[in-house]
């Protein structure tokens, strides 16, 4: 009888990414044979045990779905929100499959966001070991000089440790006197772009993710989405 780690089984069934599945378990939202399981690393036998999340039985996904959304401001990137704010799922049509967002964008951040029911794919997109690129464009206060851009590119020491090297490019001075820059990351810490730019004295005024790897929004208007093809998925990884 096959036994799997509970968080890995949840990911394989499309409930969430592995990291998000661990959070669901820790929150007591997962049951195995009616028992609430909150410890990590629990082994389960899906063929003989009934596994539920939020009261719904967890079974392997029958159809894998991948969607690219141009997220607007004002939407949270979660499947539900205790504060009653609109979630990114409300921008999609009703579907039988249980989709979840891959990673997060802040409430006031726009741009490329992947939604899927493929937990293993989400794990690959999010995990630093797979070196998945994410490109951001930011409107920042003031204009950085070349030395500041080099400092960003080499990596900074933030409160949660040093950042990995990245690409940082000046794009334009705006009529307001602020400027636009492009940052390409190979990691994805919480609010990383905002924290990096604040650390060099150029706070972010507006932020937009424009690409995952070579996959770009390609004319998708804010709030629009499209289903991804197999060729699209290859563009996530250079």
Residue 133: per-residue pLDDT: 87
Look at domain 133-212 and name its CATH class. Answer: alpha beta
Residue boundaries of the structural domains of the chain = 4-57, 66-128+217-234, 133-212
In this structure, CATH architecture of domain 66-128+217-234:
2-Layer Sandwich (3.30)
What pTM did the predictor assign? 0.77
Residue 59: per-residue pLDDT: 83
Give the contacts of 190 (CB within 8 A, at least 6 positions apart): 104
pLDDT tens, residue by residue, 176-218? 999 999 999 988 788 999 999 999 999 999 999 999 888 899 8
Domains 66-128+217-234 and 133-212 belong to one CATH topology:
yes
Task: Calculate mean pLDDT across residues 42-66.
Answer: 87
Share of the chain above pLDDT 90, in %: 56
Q: What is the mean pLDDT of the chain?
A: 90
Domain at 4-57, CATH homologous superfamily: RNA-binding S4 domain (3.10.290.10)
- Confidence class of residue 107 from pLDDT cuts 50, 70 and 90? very high
DSSP single-letter state for residue 76: B
Task: Calculate mean pLDDT across residues 60-64.
Answer: 79
Residues carrying an active site annotation: 106
- Residue 1 above 60 pLDDT? no
Task: Calculate mean pLDDT across residues 5-33.
Answer: 88
């Amino acid at each position: 009888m096959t036994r799997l780690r509970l968080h890995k089984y949840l990911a394989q069934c499309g409930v969430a990414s592995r990291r998000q599945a661990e959070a669901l378990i820790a929150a007591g939202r997962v049951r195995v044979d009616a028992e609430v399981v909150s410890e990590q690393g629990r082994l389960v036998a899906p063929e003989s045990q009934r596994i539920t999340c939020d009261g719904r039985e967890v079974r392997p996904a029958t159809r894998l779905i991948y969607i690219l959304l141009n997220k607007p401001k004002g939407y949270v990137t979660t499947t539900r929100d205790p504060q009653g704010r609109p979630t990114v799922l409300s921008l999609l049509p009703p579907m039988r499959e249980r989709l979840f967002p891959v990673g997060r964008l802040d409430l006031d951040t726009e741009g490329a966001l992947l939604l899927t029911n493929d937990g293993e794919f989400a794990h690959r997109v999010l995990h630093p070991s797979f070196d998945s690129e994410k490109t951001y464009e930011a409107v920042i206060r003031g204009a950085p000089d070349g030395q500041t851009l080099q400092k960003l590119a080499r990596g900074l020491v933030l409160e949660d440790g040093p950042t990995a090297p990245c690409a940082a490019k000046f794009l334009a001075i705006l009529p307001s006197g602020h400027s636009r820059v492009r940052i390409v990351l190979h990691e994805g810490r919480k609010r990383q772009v905002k924290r990096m730019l604040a650390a060099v004295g150029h706070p972010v005024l507006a932020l937009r993710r424009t690409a995952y790897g070579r996959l770009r929004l390609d004319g998708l208007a804010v709030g629009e989405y499209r289903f991804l093809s197999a060729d699209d998925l290859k563009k996530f990884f250079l």
